[in-house]
C-alpha cells in the first residue's frame, strides 16, 4: 500500500531570470535544488534527466557531482546541450535522444529520475505509460522528482479539448503541444505503483522584465 502525504497548503514560489553562456533562462526550480540534499542523503549517483530540454537541470546536477543521463525527444536540444557542456568541460553527462514512453535503458538502472515541466505534455494514457517506464528504470528505493499542472491553472479549459482535462493550444509558446491538467485523486491513482508519494501544491510565479506568468502546479516526489 502506498504511503501518501499531500500538503494541501499552497506555497507561492517566485522564479526569476538568470543568464549563462549568452543564454537567458528561468532559474533552477527550488524542487530541483532541494532534491540535491535528498539525493546525497540517499547516496544517489546516477540520475536520468527525462525531457531535459536545453539542460539547465542537467548542468546544475552535474556540477553537484552526480552522473547525469540527459534525454529528450528533440535532437536539436541534445546537440545544443552537448555543445554547451563541452565548453564547460563537464565529463559526467551522457546524452540520448529518446521517447519518454519507451525509455531505452534496462530495468532498475537509475538511482533517481527528474522530469520537470514535461510529464503533463500528453494524454492521460501517455502520462501513465511514461510513469510506468520511469518506475521500470528506477532502482528499488529510487527517487522520482516530477510535477503536473493543476486543474486550477489559469490556462485550464483554453484551447481545443482532445480528452477530459487535456487541451491543445492553451499555453503561450507551446502551440500544438497537449497539456493535461490533474487533481489530487488522479495523482494518487497515477503513482500508486510507488511505495511512497509526497505531493505539494505550489503557485510558480515566473517574473519577466515587465510581466509575470503564474503556473498552478503539483510538485511530486516518489520513492519506488
**pLDDT above 80 for 208:** no
List pLDDT tens digits, range 121-155.
999 999 999 999 999 999 999 999 999 999 999 99
Mean pLDDT over residues 95-111, rounded? 97
CB 64 within 8 A of CB 32: no
Q: How far from chain centre, in Å, is Cα 31? A: 10
**pLDDT above 90 for 107:** yes
Q: What is the pLDDT of residue 16?
A: 80
User: Which cell is 179 given?
Assistant: 497539456
CB 223 within 8 A of CB 204: no
Which domains does the chain possess?
A: 3-198 (3.40.50.150)
**pLDDT above 80 for 158:** yes
Please state at what angle helix 30-41 crosses helix 56-63, rounded to 10 degrees: 40
Least confident of 8-17, 78-87, 212-221: 8-17
The three-point CA angle 118-45-140 to 5° equals 75
Mean pLDDT over residues 165-182, rounded? 88
Could you give the CA distance from residue 116 to residue 113 in angstroms, rounded to a whole number?
10
List pLDDT tens digits, range 22-63.
666 788 999 999 999 999 999 999 999 999 999 999 999 999
**pLDDT above 70 for 1:** no
> Could you tell me the pLDDT band of residue 175, with boundaries at 50, 70 and 90?
confident
**pLDDT above 90 for 2:** no
Better-predicted residue by pLDDT, 210 or 196: 196
pLDDT cut 90: percent of the chain above it: 81
Could you give the CA distance from residue 202 to residue 94 in angstroms, rounded to a whole number?
31
- Cα 219 to Cα 23, 73, 147, 172, 203: the distances in Å are 26, 23, 4, 21, 10
Could you give the CA distance from residue 127 to residue 187 in angstroms, rounded to a whole number?
11
> Could you tell me the pLDDT band of residue 174, with boundaries at 50, 70 and 90?
confident
Q: What is the pLDDT of residue 61?
A: 98
Mean pLDDT over residues 176-189, rounded? 96
**pLDDT above 90 for 17:** no
Amino acid at each position: 500500500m502506498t504511503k501518501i502525504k499531500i500538503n494541501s497548503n499552497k506555497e507561492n514560489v517566485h522564479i526569476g531570470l538568470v543568464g549563462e553562456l549568452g543564454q537567458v533562462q528561468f532559474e533552477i526550480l527550488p524542487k530541483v535544488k532541494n532534491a540535491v540534499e535528498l539525493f546525497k542523503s540517499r547516496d544517489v549517483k546516477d540520475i536520468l534527466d527525462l525531457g531535459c530540454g536545453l539542460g539547465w537541470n542537467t548542468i546544475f546536477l552535474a556540477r553537484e557531482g552526480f552522473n547525469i543521463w540527459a534525454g529528450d525527444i528533440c535532437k536539436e536540444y541534445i546537440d545544443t546541450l552537448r555543445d554547451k557542456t563541452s565548453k564547460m568541460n563537464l565529463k559526467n553527462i551522457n546524452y540520448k535522444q529518446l521517447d519518454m514512453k519507451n525509455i531505452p535503458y534496462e530495468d532498475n538502472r537509475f538511482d533517481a529520475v527528474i522530469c520537470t515541466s514535461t510529464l503533463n505534455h500528453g494524454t492521460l494514457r501517455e502520462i501513465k505509460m511514461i510513469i510506468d517506464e520511469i518506475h521500470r528504470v528506477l532502482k528499488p528505493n529510487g527517487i522520482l522528482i516530477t510535477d503536473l499542472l493543476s486543474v486550477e491553472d489559469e490556462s485550464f479549459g483554453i484551447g481545443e479539448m482532445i480528452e477530459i482535462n487535456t487541451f491543445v493550444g492553451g499555453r503561450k509558446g507551446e502551440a500544438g503541444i497537449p497539456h493535461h491538467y490533474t487533481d489530487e485523486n488522479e495523482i494518487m491513482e497515477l503513482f500508486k505503483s510507488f511505495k511512497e508519494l509526497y505531493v505539494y501544491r505550489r503557485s510558480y510565479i515566473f517574473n519577466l522584465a515587465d510581466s509575470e506568468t503564474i503556473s498552478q502546479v503539483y510538485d511530486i516526489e516518489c520513492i519506488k
